[in-house]
Chain A
């Protein structure tokens, strides 16, 4: 079964609204989670590193005010796409590694965001 779970799997929102995507580690605690984004037929691109109890670290070119990340507990990170625009439509995936299990990196199921 899934060890990293994302919710929702699909979401449609109107332009200008905000949408929150959750990433949970189910059987382990993760002090660090990662958020990736994938455009159709493209590679997964790392957006940011989510750090429990502190600010997220964003990759170059990713707007931190647009993609708000909160890692309030050891099992939950959230990505909020603020003031969404159609170009934000994409597949968002999170990952976390279980350091108690050989550092295996697990990915969530992904979340399809469509902004209309």
Chain B
């Protein structure tokens, strides 16, 4: 039972444009969400997070939006850069400080120069 889903396994975006990665979840107990970037054979690198009391969190080129009623979150990267090419995972936990994460299946983002 995949509680966190990323329905797009891959996404290609032109350099300079906006990349939008989507994530859906089914467990209503989740209330803290994180996005990670991962290269092959490396551990995930934290990008940005959001708690359910917010609907938006921004950090530089990265913005995460949360629609709690739809159980949906998205990561926006703008402008996209070639170095952003990687696999992106969204993850969820039942509360901030709970280090047990449930990961989505990942979306491979390719930025086209």
Binding site secondary structure of chain B: loop
* A107 interface residue per 8 A CB criterion: yes
A42–B105 touching, CB < 8 Å: yes
* A45 interface residue per 8 A CB criterion: yes
* A: contact size bracket: 20 to 34
* B29 interface residue per 8 A CB criterion: no
A108-B43, A110-B41 in contact; A34/B89 too (CB < 8 A)?
no
* A105 interface residue per 8 A CB criterion: yes
Q: Which of B34, B43, B46, B102 contacts A6 (CB 8 A)?
A: B43
A105 to B32, CA, bound (A): 13
Chain B residue, CB-CB nearest to A4: B43
> Using Cβ atoms and an 8 Å threshold, which residues of chain B touch A89?
none
B89–A43 touching, CB < 8 Å: yes
Q: Which of A6, A41, A42, A107 contacts B44 (CB 8 A)?
A: A107
A103–B96 touching, CB < 8 Å: yes
* A12 interface residue per 8 A CB criterion: no
* A116 interface residue per 8 A CB criterion: no
Q: Which of B2, B34, B105 contacts A105 (CB 8 A)?
A: B34
Q: Which of B41, B89, B97 contacts A44 (CB 8 A)?
A: B89
Q: Which residues of B contact A (CB under 8 A)?
A: 2, 4, 34, 36, 41-46, 89, 96-97, 99-106
A105-B101, A109-B43 given; 10 more Cβ-contact pairs under 8 Å = A32-B99, A43-B89, A43-B103, A46-B102, A96-B99, A103-B96, A104-B46, A106-B46, A107-B45, A108-B43
